[in-house]
Amino acid sequence: MEIGRPDFDTPQSIKKAAIRALQEGKVHYTANAGIQELKESISRKLAVENQFSVDPEKGVVITIGCKEAILDTMLAYINLGDEVLVPDPSWLEYQNIVKLAGGVPVPVALREEEEFLLNPDDVRECVTSKTKMLIVNSPQNPTGAVLPKSYLQALAEIANAFDLIVLSDEIYEKLIYDDAKHVCFASLPGMAERTIVINGFSKAYAMDGWRLGYAAGEEHLIQPILKVHQYNTSCSTSFAQYGAVSAYEGSQESVRAMVNAFDQRRKLIISRLQQMDGVHCVVPKGAFYVFPSFKSLGMSSKELAIALLEQAHIACVPGEAFGNQGQGYLRMAYSASYDQLEQAMDRLAHFLQKYR
Ligand SMILES: Cc1ncc(COP(=O)(O)O)c(C=O)c1O
């Protein structure tokens, strides 16, 4: 339960498109920003699903996973000493990539009692004259929190007031449950001119090993990222890009089936965790993680994760790996089969009996 990746296979139609590209000899460097077909497909997807219009020629850079898109963005925009507001807890990479670019990550605490939603008042308090960028990630890793539109609007006002660039990582947008709705940050009024949308194929299409993501936005925001990308990797893998076209253009049935399966597992884990003494779990509305609190056990989350691994053979990630606010929590990915998760919950319940 520790790795943040789907346990499903990439849908056959996507694999076939990549195989076809290989057989047709599409094995050479592509244009730096990516193949025309995929840039157009991404632009269409953003317009239809996210109400965000980008120019396929100048507003999209296809990268080696979201990770490269985030690194390129930081290298393009963050100068020595610039501050970047990073939710805490959040995907560990953000703060380290900010540091790699010479910037200073400034953690903004997420609180369990606020369902781990990024509180706009807290964001405002962390802004200084050096703040250059705000990172928004919804649905979120590691908490599964999905920011409601009202929160995003309040964050947009802050971005406007303090002239911040917003990096909106929307990789989990399609993994969303109950009544939660994904809102693309760039679609909010006035935000297109300051938002870089990061998205990719790793999660919803089970293509994490293909290493394909993108940065999208207005030309003036994306072209500096293209410069970094060009010297970083030249281009993303040619045949993988053809596979990705089929991911966006083909049937979305496999995505629906995967989300359905994740939802069943999510419900199983939540109901089991909620029955365990001393465990508290906010109901996550997105991604494929739960982030329960084990604070009542009085151990560090790292000690707990090691004990669970050694004694119950359950692997999960200590919350502190995602920032100081993660102390006392564990991130459990439900990217394992329903049966395996049932077994894991049985073992966890048994393990916890020792600590009563
Ligand atoms: C919040 C978030 N963004 C991006 C990624 C990585 O995406 P990619 O595989 O496209 O680099 C992850 C992977 O775990 C993630 O959790």
Domain map of the chain by residue range?
Answer: 12-249, 253-353
Torsion, Cα of 82, 88, 92, 96 (10° steps):
20
Record: fold of 253-353: Aspartate Aminotransferase, domain 1 (3.90.1150)
Instruction: Take atom 5 of ligand 1 and give the residue whose Cα is closest.
Output: 66
Closest atom of ligand 1 relative to the 212 alpha carbon: 10
What are the angstrom distances between the C-alpha of 176 and each of 65, 107, 140, 169? 21, 25, 10, 15
The distance from CA 323 to its chain's CA centroid, rounded to whole angstroms, is 16
Please give the CATH number for the structural domain made up of 12-249.
3.40.640.10
Residue 202 in contact with ligand 1 by CB distance below 6 A: yes
Query: For residue 301, which of 283, 272, 326 has the smallest C-alpha distance?
Result: 326
Neighbours of 166 (CB within 10 A): 25
The distance from CA 297 to its chain's CA centroid, rounded to whole angstroms, is 29
Contact, 187 vs 50, CB < 8 A?
Answer: yes
Compute the residue count for the chain.
Answer: 356
Each of the 356 residues of the chain gets a pLDDT tens digit; together they read: 999 899 999 999 999 999 999 999 999 999 999 999 999 999 999 999 999 999 999 999 999 999 999 999 999 999 999 999 999 999 999 999 999 999 999 999 999 999 999 999 999 999 999 999 999 999 999 999 999 999 999 999 999 999 999 999 999 999 999 999 999 999 999 999 999 999 999 999 999 999 999 999 999 999 999 999 999 999 999 999 999 999 999 999 999 999 999 999 999 999 999 999 999 999 999 999 999 999 999 999 999 999 999 999 999 999 999 999 999 999 999 999 999 999 999 999 999 998 87
Dmax (CA) for the chain in angstroms is 63
Residue 210 in contact with ligand 1 by CB distance below 6 A: no
Mutational pocket test of ligand 1: of 91, 174, 237, the residue with most ligand atoms within 8 Å of the beta carbon: 91
CA atoms within 13 A on the CB side of 220: 5
Query: For residue 4, which of 86, 62, 63, 65 has the smallest C-alpha distance?
Result: 65
Residue 4 in contact with ligand 1 by CB distance below 6 A: yes
E-strand stretches of the chain: 60-63, 83-88, 104-109, 131-137, 165-169, 195-200, 213-216, 289-290, 317-318, 330-333
